[in-house]
Structure 1
Amino acid sequence: MNAPPEPSLRERIHAFLDDVDTILVFPTETTARYWIADYAYCSPRHALFLNRILSWDTFRGQFLPKKTQKPANSTIRHLFAALFLESEKSKSLRWFANLSADDSNTRFLPSIVAALPQLVLFSNLQHHERSTYEALPAALRHDIELLDESYRMFLSERELYEPLFEQPSIEQFRHREKVRYLVCFPQLIDNFTQFYQDIGSPAWITTTLEEYGTKPVTVIQYPNALMELRSVLRHIRILLEKGVSCDEIAITAADLSSWRPYLQQEASLREIPLAFIQGLSPLDYPGGALLRKFRDVVLRNFSLDSMKNLLLDIAFPWKSLDIHRALIKRAFQLNIPTGSTNARNVDIWEKKLSIKTEDTELLEFYRNLKAKLVQLSRSTTIQALRITLNVILDSLLEPVWKQQENSILAFCLDRINDLQNAMAACRIESVSSCFSLYLQLLQKTLYVPQVDDARIPVYPYRLAAGIAPTYHFILGCTHDATSTVSGVPNSFPETLHDVLAKQKQDLSAIILSVFSVSGTNVSVSYSRVAFDLSSSLAPSSVIEQGSIQTFNERDFNTLRHKDPLYAEEQLWHDDVGGFDGNLRAFWLQKRWFDSAERTVFTEPSDDFAIRKAPEDVVRHFSSSDNLFHISPTSLDMYSTCPAKWSYRYLFNVDGGDTYRLLPLDPLKIGNLIHDIYQQFFKRAAALGPFRKELADTYADVMNEIFERVFNRYRVSSDSPANAAYEYLYHQYVRQIPAIIEKELNQYPNNIVIGLEFPFRQPYADQGYLLEGRIDKILGLSESESKEIVVIDYKKSYTLRRSQYDVESSGEGRSYQLPMYAKVMEAQGYSAVEAAYYNAQEAKFVCIWKRTEDQRKTELLKDLDSKLKAMTEGLKSSDFIASPSKNHCRNCPYRQLCRRRYAFR
């Protein structure tokens, strides 16, 4: 006869609860609450007294002494750490802090707070395991003893006590007759054996379910974490579609902090509702992140990045978003990298915004914001903190916000009361950096948003060991993620683990074994490659005792073909095979498609980039003289891509503003170089022909002009940071004067005919007017000869002379110098040479020389064809794009044109 089946975990726990004289104790509050609800819903009795199931913390607390003093809590520990770091004693710290740093409170306070709960462990070592204690680093022992003495004195002076220091005693517990306590999964409870011995091992406390920590575990191995996650979510999606309720499914992530964002993203795409049991810090939600950004702005001295992160975040309901945008835009224009909170230093925001009257409103806004945020960061009392914070919020935010974000912000503000109560209990009226301490408390506080609809619970590892849903998926069970060591402080380096080997207890295998039976259908899995592409190993206990099962590729593909997201991907590739014909698109997919139909999938009614514009468009850019005004830049742009020309000149869309703060603005540097050269050659021309005999004089003139222009630039509103200015100065103090020697060698004895020479040359019979400005025109002798050289200055020049060869394709060729030559020849001159001067490399690049008449003729002929093509194109309203890899690579109008469309 076959043996009866082994009772399930649920059946055993329900059987225990059927005995009214039995009280169950579970390792965590989460497990206790799970079994309260499970017994109430699933047992025949459908009812249970809440005191029939306890968590371990609640049960252990009944054995602790009852005191009249107030207990210390996390807020009080933070207060102690803040006061301790301000005291003289803290200067002798050698392990936890280095107080030579200015921001010691901010940097080292968390490590001090984390050490306080561990003091009792080290105290026990000192008194009972002296040899082990002496093996610890001397610096650590010194700091532990200093902290222990200071913290106990702090508590004593304020009539407080630390619950973590109290030892359990059987005399403190009120035991009812006939009641027995069953501690479930005792191997999951830290120091349970020691506790049981300390209270005298009473017979009415027994343990049960220990055997579940010894069962071998089978783990499914996936190639990578994304495949693991999607496979599980596809399985869950199928279960939901079959009618399985959310409360019958549970997910546990061994490394929830790493998996959480991917879980949220992938689950939302598949319409799988999740409820994360472990909350996040309220500072990780927009409602609380605002407070962190207030602090960051001050800590970073009102840097442009921190100001941008705060003022341009549209998650917040700003009252004056237009002013925020105007301020940040102006900061880019004025090249403002940072401000200052030190009154002795110059605040670049105030300095540059004070120059022009049109910036007065922005300057006033900045000053008010800065004053309030600095006052907030320097508040020392609760009253000052609360008043200043409320003033800032009232002045910046609209009262209407999303309900959840309002709730989170209200939760954060309520924590000020916690800090106030703790300060009152500690008899503390003020503390430096009150706002920073407040944010530290919020960072350690967890906020769990309330949800009303049914959702699948997602647990962090260890918290849900011992529950029993119908389907339980335990994800990411790598060796590192499942490693759990008890008896060693978590906040201390692993180098101490060997020293504390006697106290160390490895619970990794036990916890994983319990998880493997925590449900009717349990799936334990891991992947060899994590989301960050690091390699992972299976848990060592699985390798030694359990088994590793490679994921079934056939089952994986079956699940994948039931996923509407994967189906959509394949349909875009014209692959329609292997899919379930009854697949239903997710709501998000429908929303995406509806949006795409209205935008990218629908041709604009007037898409000038793909078809010619209406003929009457020409009147919007034709001049009163009925000629098309063409500059070298506009000709080059139209020749490259007519659509790009239309966005810039017809629609006046400025594509050059990237809102990136550059240490040095190339455009301003170019203008600086032009200014120096213009002034220099104007002075040099007054001395007669440009000849080598005056080289020293030219050098003196150049140095004088260079210093004057650069000094003016340094104090202007456009000046860069000091370090960037010094770099620019030392780079160009050698490069700019080099033009003297280069020009004396290239064009000796020349005379200047024109500097920054403006031109407006009409060609009425051809329908256009050429306009622009020539940097320099040189005559090659003092005679009446009309032979000239046209020169254009470039900060740097990337084109090659070979691009102007007759046999070349002309791709990327600029028609600037040929246009200059055409205009000057219309005025009776002969441009026998045309050259660019590259200031960065200090050399001339001649696109044709005096002996290359045929080359010049061909280039002017090519210019005429480009001008004719542009004129005819404008007359016919032809702005059709000419996309190519080179044309579109850095085009700022790609998202308008969409001929070679890509998200950027």
Structure 2
Amino acid sequence: MTPEKIAVSVPDLETASPYLRREFELRDIPFELRTGEPLGSRPAGRIFRLINECVSSGFSFSAMKALLLNRAIPWKHGGMRERLVEFGIRNHCVASWSENGETLDIWAEAFKTPNKADPGDWLLRDWYRLLRNRATSLCSAKDFPEIRRQWFAFRRDLLNIEEMSPADNDVLARCIEELSSLERLGALYPELAPRDAFSFFANLLEEVQYVSQRSPGGVSVFPWRVAAGTPFERHFILDASQDNATVLYRQLPFLREDKRLDLFLMDTDASASFFEIYRGQGTAVFSFAERSFTGYRTVHGHFANGAALADESARADDPYEAERLFRAGASAPRRLYPIQKKSIAEWNRVSRNRGFSFLKEAFENQSEAVSGLIDEKKTTDGRVRVSQSDLSEYGLCRTKWFLNRLAGIEVSDSDAELMNDRNLGLVYHSVLKDLYEKIRTEDGVFVGERRNEYLSWAENIAQTAASGHAEFNGPLAQPIIDSLIRRILEGIAKILDKDAEFLDGFVPEFLEERLTLEQKGALLNGVIDRISRDPADNALVIIDYKSGKAVSGKRYIPDEENRIGDFQIPMYIRLAEQSPESPYLGQRVEYAWFASIRDGAFKPIVQGEGISMGRLRPVSDRDGFEPTMEAFDRMVDFFEDGIRRRDFTRPEDLSWAVCQSCDYRRVCRAVYSVAPGLD
């Protein structure tokens, strides 16, 4: 029997169609979906709505990205669209704005002083101007004939229609047919012409149903009821459940239920009639699943009298079912679908011994390029440079450290943002550093009574906080910083309050300075946000600012294998106490705290007896922190040894959940690995 003589009817075709497509393609069966979807929902037909959204939003980044990255639209001029999106990300082109009654184009303003300017930015600027002018002219067309003229101008200058697929070209042609119909109606009834012709046209495309014109041949797939009584040799009705296959007709459905009862208006159940029409040809087979995509189902009551459903045993000769049974120990399938044969050949190809894999073995001396990168990026005079973030990342996954720190694979931004947590953290650190430098210069020590004056200093400092950071370049950067001054000052005020409570009279002595320390074959390095010193007894307090939530103290308690989860506090204590560059060389650090700017709280990790923190409980005192320092030293040795051996293997005990959330999972592909023999 040829596929053209087979039909399939599905009650909830919108939900089931992706699964049906997959099954037909897996079995290499030609098919034809006999159902429509709005023209404006098709990838090519969406272009008119996307253009309209660009213009109406003032060419906001989100609208521009949706238009430019629609793969169904073939643009001229090579990679201009990707370059324009990248330009918008690095210049924070989020949205245009109004100033003194004038609308300012965010993209045009960004092109005046671009961040990380590229020599080709002027070409990009001209291409954007062409896009903006053509799109604006199209959306502002006063009538439908003008829309046609502007569309063909847009297409001529910006699109490469020859590269569009035949199916997408058909959709676009149908959209223009609808425009022609509107032109004829507009000529007949000019007094009824809409005010915004292009928006009217774009909205119409969201309502007009379009059925793809596929090549003839294949199984016909219909929505439920549409193909009732059609003379196919075999007709399969899927999901004949009570919920989905019931057909109810209601008289005067707009009336309330009590009114309908007063008029003796009852619902008419036409389900049985449709079932009989389908069965009238003698070729229909009904089926249903007790558990479908949307939940559990019950077979339709029409079949309670013993009417036959499809027999599950019909799957016995299915090659996929035979393949599943073969993996469980049964005999080999008698036949295979083409895609199965291709898959087996591909599996045999990739399952061959491929030799060396850095995911499973250390590089050692196998790659001069890797050795060169290590010498360039991670060693100084033969010593391995170590930061606390190196230890945290390498300890979690050596492969991630290699891809990020050594190979230099960056996780690119996909959206333009005005301010994220990292940007805000930079501002906080910058303001706090300058503020405490001024306090040290003016007063020598922190004076709690001058808290309000310190806050006014912070306000002046915050006004220019973003000027030294490339992340804040772009037309909207400084206005956004200005609008966030209040939020920044609220965070600074919380830190000042805590200093007044616990560190009144302390000298804010060491502010965001780098220290280094040679430890065996490693060179430790780090930047400490602040060390405050009590001039009375020289007690030292290390403070690390966190714009978000502080690190949990549990991460500094060694586990059963004497490992810790964070290395920041041990690194800073080691540097402050032993670095030759440290003004506190040879002294003992009794206090180490996180300062949560968001929560306005100090979180003690190491705590001496001289400062009372009330109910706040630290991890331990300095003596009790020694096991953590020993775990830190072991990790330094492990890291230094691993770098020298070029060991970037993936830990065997790393959980799948950790890999699944990793930004580099698509590079190392550990989450996609398949073990032979697994069902």
Q: Distance in 2 between matches of 1:364 and 1:261?
A: 41
Task: Compute the displacement of 1:254 (Å).
Answer: 3.9
**Partner Cα separation in structure 2 for residue 621 and residue 722 of structure 1:** 42
Q: Which amino acid aligns with 1:274?
A: F
Which residue of structure 1 aligns with residue 65 of structure 2? Answer: 308
Counterpart pick for 1:512 among 274, 282, 286: 274
**2:151 equivalent among 374, 384, 389:** 389
Say if 2:170 is the partner of 1:407: yes
Contact 2:606 2:625 in 1 (8 A): yes
SS at match of 1:736: helix
How far is the alpha carbon of 1:460 from its aligned partner? Answer: 3.7
Paired residues of 1:471 and 1:519 also in contact (CA < 8 A): no
**What is the one-letter code of the residue matched to 1:767?**
G
The alpha-carbon distance between structure 1 residues 902 and 347, as it changes in their structure 2 partners (threshold 3 A), is farther
Verify: 1:667 aligned to 2:425, yes or no. Answer: no
**1:134 alignment partner in structure 2:** none
Letter in 2 for 1:884: L
Alignment of 1:755-794 (within 5 A): 755-762=511-518, 766-781=520-535, 788-794=540-546
Amino acid at match of 2:530: K
| Partner Cα separation in structure 2 for residue 902 and residue 301 of structure 1 | 45
Q: Secondary structure at the match of 1:757?
A: strand
User: Deviation at 1:755?
Assistant: 1.3
Which secondary structure does the structure 1 equivalent of 2:525 belong to?
A: strand
Aligned-partner Cα distance in 2 for 1:604–1:636:
31
Q: 1:406 to 1:758 in 2, by over 3 A?
A: same
Report if the CA contact (8 A) 1:468-1:520 is conserved.
no
CA distance in 1, matches of 2:88, 2:34: 43
2:663 aligned to which of 892, 896, 899: 892
Q: Is the 8 A contact 1:250 1:456 kept in 2?
A: yes
Identity, in percent, stands at 21
Is structure 2 residue 584 aligned with structure 1 residue 815?
no
Aligned residues: 640
Q: Tell me what 1:317 maps to.
A: 74
Measure how far apart 1:673 and its partner are.
0.9
Q: Which residue of 2 aligns with 1:293?
A: 50
- Name 1:607's counterpart in structure 2: 357
1:558-707 equivalences in 2 (<5 Å): 558-569=313-324, 574-577=327-330, 581-584=333-336, 586-594=337-345, 601=351, 606-615=356-365, 616=368, 617-622=370-375, 623=379, 625-655=381-411, 657=412, 659=414, 664-686=419-441, 687-706=443-462
Gaps of 5+ in 1: 1-243
Indicate the residue corresponding to 2:29 in structure 1.
Answer: 272
Indicate the structure (1 or 2) with the bigger Cα radius of gyration.
Answer: 1
- Describe the shift of the 1:355–1:613 C-alpha distance in structure 2 as closer, same or farther (beyond 3 A): same
CA distance in 2, matches of 1:716, 1:604: 47
Q: CA deviation at 1:732?
A: 4.5
Alpha-carbon distance in 2 for matches of 1:806, 1:252: 62
Do 1:298 and 1:374's aligned partners in 2 also have CA atoms closer than 8 Å?
A: yes
Tell me the secondary structure at the aligned position of residue 287 of structure 1.
coil
2:639 counterpart (850, 861, 870): 870
What letter matches 1:668 in structure 2? N
Contact 1:333 1:718 in 2 (8 A): no
Contact 2:462 2:485 in 1 (8 A): no
Separation of aligned partners in 2, 1:814 and 1:266: 48
Partner residue of 2:179? 416
Contact 1:379 1:432 in 2 (8 A): no
Judge conservation of contact 2:235–2:284 (CA < 8 Å) in 1: yes
In structure 2, the residue matched to 1:190 is none
Structure 2 letter corresponding to 1:408:
V
State how far apart, in whole Å, the 1-side matches of 2:225 and 2:579 are.
86
Distance (whole Å) between structure 2 residues aligned to residue 302 and residue 520 of structure 1: 59
| Of 9, 17, 20, the match for 1:260 | 17
Distance 1:307 1:596 in 2: 41
CA distance in 2, matches of 1:791, 1:501: 79
Deviation of 1:331 (Å): 3.4
Match of 2:598 in 1: 840
Match of 2:220 in 1: 457
Cα pair distance change 1:247/1:717, threshold 3 Å: closer
Alpha-carbon deviations, 1:209-246, whole Å to 9, x = none?
xxxxxxxxxxxxxxxxxxxxxxxxxxxxxxxxxxx122
Q: Distance in 2 between matches of 1:591 and 1:721?
A: 57
1:589 to 1:407, Cα distance in 2 relative to 1, 3 A: same
- Which whole-Å CA distance do the structure 1 matches of 2:661 and 2:497 have between them? 36
Q: Note if contact 2:143-2:197 (Cα within 8 Å) is conserved in structure 1.
A: yes
Which one of 246, 249, 256 corresponds to residue 3 of structure 2?
A: 246
In the alignment, the residues of structure 2 paired with residue 499 and residue 404 of structure 1 have an alpha-carbon distance, to the nearest angstrom, of: 51
Contact 2:285 2:309 in 1 (8 A): no
The structure-2 alpha-carbon separation of the partners of 1:753 and 1:595, relative to structure 1 and needing over 3 Å to count, comes to: farther
TM-score (structure 1 length as normaliser): 0.62
Deviation at 1:290, TM superposition (A): 2.7
Are the structure 2 counterparts of residues 253 and 353 from structure 1 closer, same or farther at C-alpha, using a change threshold of 3 Å?
same
Root-mean-square deviation over aligned CA pairs: 4.1
User: Shift of the alpha carbon at 1:512?
Assistant: 0.8
Query: How many Å separate the matches in 2 of 1:497 and 1:355?
Result: 69
SS in structure 2 at match of 1:295:
helix
Q: 2:50·2:66 contact (CA, 8 Å) conserved in 1?
A: yes
AA of the residue aligned to 2:237: I
- Greater RCO (CA < 8 Å, at least 6 residues apart): 2
Does the 8 Å contact 1:298/1:341 carry over to 2? Answer: no
Task: Name the amino acid aligned to 1:589.
Answer: Q
Amino acid at match of 2:492: I
- Offset of 1:683 from its aligned partner? 0.7
TM superposition shift of 1:896 = 2.6
Partner residue in 1 for 2:509: 753
Q: What do the CA deviations read for 1:704-731 (whole angstroms, capped 9, x no partner)? A: 43466489999963868999986x6555
How far does residue 839 in structure 1 lie from its aligned partner after superposition? 1.5
Alpha-carbon separation, structure 2, partners of 1:437 and 1:702: 53
How far is the alpha carbon of 1:341 from its aligned partner? 11
1:215-254 matches, cutoff 5 A: 244-254=1-11
Distance (Å, rounded) in 1 between the aligned partners of 2:167 and 2:355 = 41
Per the TM alignment, residue 257 of structure 1 is displaced from its structure 2 partner at its CA by: 4.0
Partners of 1:838 and 1:844 within 8 A in 2: yes
For 1:483, which of 247, 259, 265 is the aligned residue? 247
Q: Secondary structure at the match of 2:44?
A: helix
Find the aligned partners of 2:130 and 2:631 in 1 and give their Cα distance.
59
Quote the offset at 1:652 in angstroms: 0.4
In structure 2, relative to structure 1, the CA distance for the partners of 1:433 and 1:269 (3 Å cut) is farther
State the partner residue of 1:199.
Answer: none
Cα shift at 1:634: 1.7
- The aligned counterpart of 1:93 is none
Q: How does 1:845-856 map to 2 (within 5 A)?
A: 845-850=603-608, 852-856=621-625
Deviation at 1:364, TM superposition (A): 4.4
Deviation at 1:306, TM superposition (A): 3.2
Which sections of structure 2, spanning at least 5 residues, go unmatched? 610-620, 675-679
Within 2, Cα distance between the matches of 1:350 and 1:782? Answer: 58
Separation (CA, whole Å) in 1 of partners of 2:232 and 2:625: 85
TM-score (norm 2): 0.81
**How far, CA to CA, are the matches of 2:31 and 2:289 in structure 1?**
22
Report the alpha carbon displacement of residue 400 of structure 1 after superposing the two structures with TM. 1.9
Separation in 2 of the partners of 1:458 and 1:900?
Answer: 36
Whole-angstrom distance in 1 between the partners of 2:314 and 2:78:
47
Distance of 1:761 and 1:739 partners within structure 2: 30
**Amino acid aligned to 1:508:** A
Deviation by residue 1:184-205 (Cα, 9 ceiling, x = unmatched): xxxxxxxxxxxxxxxxxxxxxx
